[in-house]
Amino acid sequence: MRPNALGALLGVAASAFLAVFFLYPLAVILARSFTDGGAPAQVASNPYYWQRLGFTAGQALLSTVLTVALGLPGALLFARYDFRGKRFLNAAFTIPFVMPTVVAGIGFLALFGPRGLSGLDLRNTLLLVLLAHVFYNYAIVVRVVGGFLEGAAPRLLEAASTLGAGSWRATLRVSLPLAMPALLAAATLVFLFCFTSFGVILILAPTPRLATLEVEIYQLTAHLLELGPAAVLAVAQLVLVGLVTLVYTRAQARLALALPAYRSALPRPRGAARLALGLQLLLAAALILSPLAALAVGALQGAGGSFPSFANLAAALRPSGVLGFASLGLALRNSLLFASLSTLLALLIGFAVAYAVVRGRWAALDPLSLLPLATSPVTLGFGYLLAFPALVAHPWGIPIAHALIAFPFVARSLLPALRGLDPTLNAAAASLGTGPLRILGRVELPQLRSALLTAASFAFAVSMGEFGATLLLVRPRYATLPVAIYDRLGRPGPQHYGAALALALVLMLVTGAVMLLLQRRGRSEF
Amino acid sequence: MSLHLHELRKHYGATRAVDGVTLELDERETLALLGPSGCGKSTLLRLVAGLEAPDAGHLSLDGSDITQLPPQRRRFGMVFQDYALFPHLDVGQNVAFGLVELRWERAAQRERVGELLELVGLAGLERRRVQQLSGGQQQRVALARALAPRPEVLLLDEPLSNLDQTLREALKDELSGLLSSLPVRAVYVTHDQSEAFTIARRVAVMKSGRLAQVGTREEVLEHPRTGWLAHFLGHRNVFEAADLARVPGAPQRGPALLRSDLTRVLPAADGGGGTDAVVRGVARDGLRWKLRLALPDWGIELAWEGYDRELPGAPTEGQQLRLHVPAEAWQELDGA
């Protein structure tokens, strides 16, 4: 298809935005790490920072191993069998993706915190951090690996069985080797997520012993004001994440097997497989639902253990003048406002990027649009602090940062949709006398509606839950729900804890409702 | 020494995919299981392979009941419609897959793989990735893989249906020669009757989960039992009893088939034999003429096919001819 002027124009606009609000802040961090007299040497010679690096990589590796160990059997069973409730479960698996870190963090606190329902206080233990990481990433392994195998594995396993390979042998000789590339992809993703873990650590293990690099950068910036070392750590983290991503994409390209999709219905599990599947489902349900349920129960529990009680909610609604917490009303208003603004902005940038890649000659924007995903939110927030000090007190600072974090999801969702559009429809419209802009409005956008709605729902959820960048850029007046929750957690006293639970419940419900609403409408298009 | 299917049944909800099938397969025999799509033939094959469990009935091999035996212990080789080659293994590893399960020695495996690739005409391609093969080559690898562990029975599920026309024709003949030369009994499922009759001497025609007719290819082709079978096998001239009231020599009790290949077209002037025929339609299929002939004296119309030499000159619409119909051209059909 002929590249059009609109595509070229949008490419220029998107590039300019990315250059100013993404590349420039990173460049400022880089410059700062070198210009701050001796900061690199100071960091490199301090064993504490090496310890942090070791811990960060170690806990990420451990989380990955644990997640894969728990998720792989589930993935293999998912790919192999059909069962009642599978579709529902697949939908339930998106919950950890979209639930704000803070919500899951508080959920685990409600289960295993000092005042947790289990009676077991695991706060400030590595175990609790690992548990939360598994919660976030279990579904990634099951969905990525299970989804990869689902089309091909059943038929190939049948072939294996006619060749004399029983269930275990076939798993060993067929399923596992086939799953390897997907497993590697999923494991790398899990590793990267856990490597830059921030909210989970801040909430569940606020002790220097368990601080990741990301937490360290935040502490250096926000509390110690040591911007030089912070910049060095941010650059080091960026380089490491970039390297892992690079190795991963290389390995992917080499390992990638296009699995044929066979037309075959999945069988229902029988015998031992049924038992194994049942156990996996139980595990998944316990993992995903128990922290959320604990959060709900905790939030609705009164002082004397009465249930249901709205005391926590009432406490959250009260503005607390002395301590400067945002009330539920203010935080909710801020969150919804910022989420709406950043969703709009993310849709504009994401669409501009996708359109420029597909319709203009801007193919280079395609990989570039992935970079913000590999950049940690704290690094981005830090970059804004350094590059645009004026943006910090400004109401647009947070929405712009959120939009930048969210737009890759939009671009990723729109790119395949745009590429899938039938160019003859545009030709037909043009032959009927429609210009490029009117084609966009009357032919292309209506076809992209579903993808746009899905993208919007993800952008909205990202913004509602965003924590790292917000924490660095926020001023009390603009506190979002996650920030309000975190503020209360940091104060002693059961009333603050209760109010934090109530706020987290509201955040969970609002995020869930918006996702449900937008995705429903997105799907019903077909 | 035989594979015996006894009253096999498989239902999916209200659908009776396999509805009481009894069938016997002798040693070294190739049986074609022929039927339209959705008739249950693939399900029947999957029951035999052990990939599905029957709701009722049983299956025995050489006298021992194997109904409950899982597929991996049946030693039945299967060639899938979509090949189902393992994408993570190369050609040689694919063919050796079953040998590994049988704990064959490395050297013996290598030898057997070479032997089979030779047999299917892919000698020397051991190290090739399966994704680099053409559809026809993949089909050959699938066949070699199924044959390698010397299966008790070879099951082929529409093995040629994903190939293009030319390749299918070539492979059809090749497969026919291969199967008749190998000491293996085979069940060949297909919806294509030319494949069925090329590859197998014995053919079972399946309809709605049941066997409509089982017999040698000649029996099935020349003496279809019912009107449905006659239609399905390409016979065009099936008549109801009521239509044949004025036809001398035709069966009167039930529906009947008129085998046009046994009739003879004569010039109109020839008073000797036959009945009057008027050409109502003329079409060609390659070198063959396809005519619609009306027989005014008998009150019926029939389709007739033949070459130039069987006609008194090029046919034209409205042309008067005579048609000789010997008694053996009429065949009575079961009213079903």
Per-residue pLDDT reduced to its tens digit, B47-82: 999 998 899 999 999 889 999 999 999 999 999 998
Q: Is the pLDDT of residue A251 over 80?
A: no
Q: Are residues B145 and B266 in the same domain?
A: no
Instruction: Determine the residue among B37, B48, B69, B72 to mutate to test chain A binding: the one whose Cβ has the most chain A Cβ atoms within 10 Å.
Output: B72
- Give residues with Cβ within 8 angstroms of A68, minimum separation 6: A141, A183, A186, A187, A190
**What's the CATH number for A1-34+323-526?**
1.10.3720.10
pLDDT at A263: 60
Q: Are residues B28 and B44 in the same domain?
A: yes
Compute the mean pLDDT over every residue in chain B, rounded to the nearest whole number.
90
Q: Are residues B10 and B96 in the same domain?
A: yes
**CATH number, position B145:** 3.40.50.300
Q: Are residues B219 and B273 in the same domain?
A: no
What is the per-residue pLDDT across A87-127, written as a single tens digit (0 to 9) for each? 777 777 777 877 888 998 999 999 998 888 888 889 999 99
**CATH number, position B292:** 2.40.50.100
Q: Is the pLDDT of residue B234 over 80?
A: yes
Q: Which residue has the higher pLDDT, A508 or A496?
A: A508
Token digits for B160?
């040629």
Q: Is B129 on the interface with A (CB under 8 A)?
A: no
Q: What residues make up the domain containing B220?
A: 2-232
Query: Residue B45: which pLDDT band, with cuts at 50, 70 and 90?
Result: very high
Q: By the 8 A CB rule, do A351 and A414 touch?
A: yes
Domain ranges within chain A, ordered by starting residue: 1-34+323-526, 36-299
What is the per-residue pLDDT across B145-170, written as a single tens digit (0 to 9) for each? 999 999 989 999 999 988 888 888 88
pLDDT at A218: 93
Q: Are residues B112 and B60 in the same domain?
A: yes
Count helices and strands (H / E) in chain B.
Answer: 8, 18
Q: Is B49 on the interface with A (CB under 8 A)?
A: yes
Q: Is the pLDDT of residue A134 over 80?
A: yes
- Of B232, B267, B283, the residue that ends a domain is B232
Range list of H helices, A163-310: 167-170, 176-195, 199-204, 213-218, 227-255, 271-299
Q: Is B75 on the interface with A (CB under 8 A)?
A: yes
**Nearest chain A Cα to B51, which residue?**
A158
Q: Are residues B97 and B198 in the same domain?
A: yes
- Of B232, B256, B279, the residue that ends a domain is B232
Size of chain B in residues: 336
- Rounded mean pLDDT of A348-359? 90
Q: Is B101 on the interface with A (CB under 8 A)?
A: yes
Domain count within chain B:
2
Taking CA B187 as the corner, what is the angle to CA B47 and CA B126, rounded to the nearest 5 degrees?
A: 100
Query: Residue A525: which pLDDT band, with cuts at 50, 70 and 90?
Result: very low
Taking CA B168 as the corner, what is the angle to CA B167 and CA B170, rounded to the nearest 5 degrees?
A: 65
Nearest to B98 among A158, A163, A177 (CB): A163
Q: Is the pLDDT of residue B266 over 80?
A: yes
Q: Is the pLDDT of residue A526 over 50?
A: no
The Cα–Cα gap between A135 and A122 comes to 16
Q: Are residues B195 and B251 in the same domain?
A: no
- Rounded mean pLDDT of A311-318? 78
Give B245-271 as a DSSP string. TT-TTS--SS-EEE-GGG-EEEETT--
Q: By the 8 A CB rule, do A310 and A456 touch?
A: no
**Nearest chain B Cα to A258, which residue?**
B87
Q: Is B26 on the interface with A (CB under 8 A)?
A: no
Token digits for A35?
């210009």
Strand B56-61, strand B2-12: pairing: antiparallel
Query: Residue A4: which pLDDT band, with cuts at 50, 70 and 90?
Result: confident
Q: Are residues B7 and B96 in the same domain?
A: yes
Find tokens 């399966």 and name the residue. Answer: B130
Compute the mean pLDDT over every residue in chain A, rounded to the nearest whole number.
85
Give B7-70 as a DSSP string. EEEEEETTEEEEEEEEEEEETT-EEEEE--TTSSHHHHHHHHHTSS--SEEEEEETTEE-TT--
- Of B188, B212, B232, the residue that ends a domain is B232
Find how far residue B71's CA is from the centre of its chain. Answer: 25
Q: Is A252 on the interface with B (CB under 8 A)?
A: no
Q: Are residues B102 and B205 in the same domain?
A: yes
What is the per-residue pLDDT across B235-248, written as a single tens digit (0 to 9) for each? 989 998 888 888 88
pLDDT at A489: 85
pLDDT at A332: 92
Q: Is B288 on the interface with A (CB under 8 A)?
A: no
Q: Is the pLDDT of residue B204 over 50?
A: yes
Token digits for A497?
């804890």
pLDDT at A492: 78
Chain A residues within an 8 Å CB radius of B74 = 162
Q: Is B73 on the interface with A (CB under 8 A)?
A: yes
Q: By the 8 A CB rule, do A108 and A128 touch?
A: yes
Query: Residue B112: which pLDDT band, with cuts at 50, 70 and 90?
Result: very high
Q: Are residues B252 and B172 in the same domain?
A: no
Q: Is the pLDDT of residue B279 over 90?
A: yes
Q: Which of residues 132-161 of A touch B (CB under 8 A)?
A: 152, 155-156, 158-161
Nearest to A259 among B78, B87, B97 (CB): B87
Q: Are residues B183 and B205 in the same domain?
A: yes
Chain A residues within an 8 Å CB radius of B76 = 162
Q: Are residues B251 and B219 in the same domain?
A: no
What is the per-residue pLDDT across B19-29, written as a single tens digit (0 to 9) for each? 999 999 987 78
Q: Is the pLDDT of residue A224 over 70?
A: yes
The Cα–Cα gap between A502 and A316 comes to 7
Q: Give the residue among A362, A340, A335 at the shortest CA–CA distance from A351.
A: A362
**What's the CATH number for A36-299?**
1.10.3720.10
